[in-house]
Homo-oligomer: A and B are copies of this chain.
Amino acid sequence: MSTDTPRTSLQLRSLIRANGELEVSLQDVDIPEPAADEVLVRIEATPINPSDLGLLFGAADMSTAKVSGTAERPVLSAQVPERLVKAMAARADESMPVGNEGAGIVIKTGSSPAAQALMGKTVAMIGGAMYAQHRVMSAAQCLLLPEGTTPAEGASCFVNPLTALSMVETMKLEGHTALVHTAAASNLGQMLNRICLKDGVQLVNIVRKPEQAKLLRDMGAQHVCSTDSPNFLAELTDALAETGATIAFDAIGGGKLPGQILACMEAAINRTAKEYSRYGSAVHKQVYLYGMLDPAPTEFSRSFGMAWGMGGWLLFPFLQKIGTEASQKLRQRVAAELKTTFASHYTRTVSLAEALTLEAVAVYGQRSTGAKVLIDPSKGLAK
């Protein structure tokens, strides 16, 4: 065990005051002593996922963002629009750590053999408070990365890989045989495409632009529909008829797309219908809204019969539902295919302080496909 580990650590905190003022800053926090079963990890890579932005910025309007403080200790502020302040009441005046997942090096351990076995190893973690220089974690919850894996390669081990795998698992569990994904050119979408190609699962990718369609086709995707095509609905219906996909995962949330997917599924099913049913097809069609890229209202015309569902979908409740053993299998697959199926790509790597610059916020805050930022909290520090 190292004896010269630091006593305090820099941690990113997000605070929304009762008046709607957002303040994101870096705080010195004490590093707790790892308990017997725990390890202390020096975090060297932690991604900014769309799912982190909700906690990081809340409902603040980031076009009002400004930075004060020093270059080493910047303070990012922004204002929550009046009409949304009430929705933030539950977290008002509570300073919250941020960062779902990350990876780093174990630099101190508790006394248990399991903890000691991880000394000096590179591990991946999930559980919040990862936008920090250090994190204490139970040894059992650390994912030991294969020899030769860097923290940057292992930083996104959980959210995107488990989400993509769990979409395929949900598809199977709920009795569907092919699936649809929107915002399909995202890091997550590319991962899902690789999983489906590898596992022989038919996937209909929906993107917004021709260049995103090309990107996916170049990666081997067979079914790609672009919403900017004048024949989008007809092309989507064709792809649904060919694949038989009756479940979709939508990252966008707002607008008409979820309802259009259901309507095209119904049209695809009815191509082979043998008799008229006034209630529409009896085949259950499902769209899960798992993201919020578009916060606008969702709107649909009910032109898809009565056998349909729309709903929220979230990774952790799903993992709880399938249980520890099944979840563990998914995690092991991620570790084994980390440099292939589950490889992530980042637009840039920043320090904790750099993450709070307006320039960086402009990149990762836009919730757009493909622009993904990695924080290295050890950047600029002696390791």
Contacts and interface: CB of A to CB of B under 8 A. Distances in A.
A303 interface: yes
A314 B306 contact: yes
Nearest to A308: B312
Most buried by B among A54, A87, A254, A312: A312
Interface in A296-330: 297-303, 305-314, 317
Contacts of A290: 306
A265 interface: no
A91 B270 CA distance: 12
B307 A314 contact: yes
A360 interface: no
A273 B89 CA distance: 12
Contacts of A302: 253-254, 289, 292, 295, 297-298, 312
A292 B302 CA distance: 9
Interface string A266-298: 000010010111110010000001101001011
Interface residues of A, number: 40
Given A94-B276, A307-B317, A297 B298 contact: no
Nearest to A254: B302
A197 interface: no
A159 interface: no
A245 B290 CA distance: 24
Contacts of A301: 297-298
Nearest to A290: B306
B311 A90 contact: no
The oligomer's copy count stands at 2
Contacts of A314: 279, 306-307
A310 B270 CA distance: 22
Contacts of A65: none
Given A292-B302, A297-B301, A317-B307, A276 B312 contact: no
A306 B314 CA distance: 7
Contact of A310 (B96, B275, B310): B310
Contacts of A273: 90
Contacts of A312: 302, 305-309
Contacts of A317: 282, 306-307
Contacts of A300: 297-298
Contacts of A303: 87
A214 to B, nearest CB: 31
Given A55-B278, A302-B289, A302-B298, A311 B310 contact: yes
A278 B54 contact: yes
A307 B253 CA distance: 14
Contacts of A313: 306
Interface string A46-65: 00000000110000000000
A317 to B, nearest CB: 7
A375 to B, nearest CB: 19
A218 to B, nearest CB: 33
Contacts of A310: 309-311
Contacts of A55: 278
B307 A276 contact: no
16 contacts: A87-B303, A91-B278, A94-B276, A279-B314, A297-B301, A297-B302, A298-B300, A299-B299, A302-B312, A305-B312, A306-B312, A306-B313, A306-B314, A309-B310, A310-B310, A311-B311
Given A299-B299, A310-B310, A310-B311, 11 more contacts: A91-B276, A279-B314, A289-B302, A292-B302, A297-B300, A298-B299, A302-B312, A306-B313, A307-B312, A309-B309, A309-B310
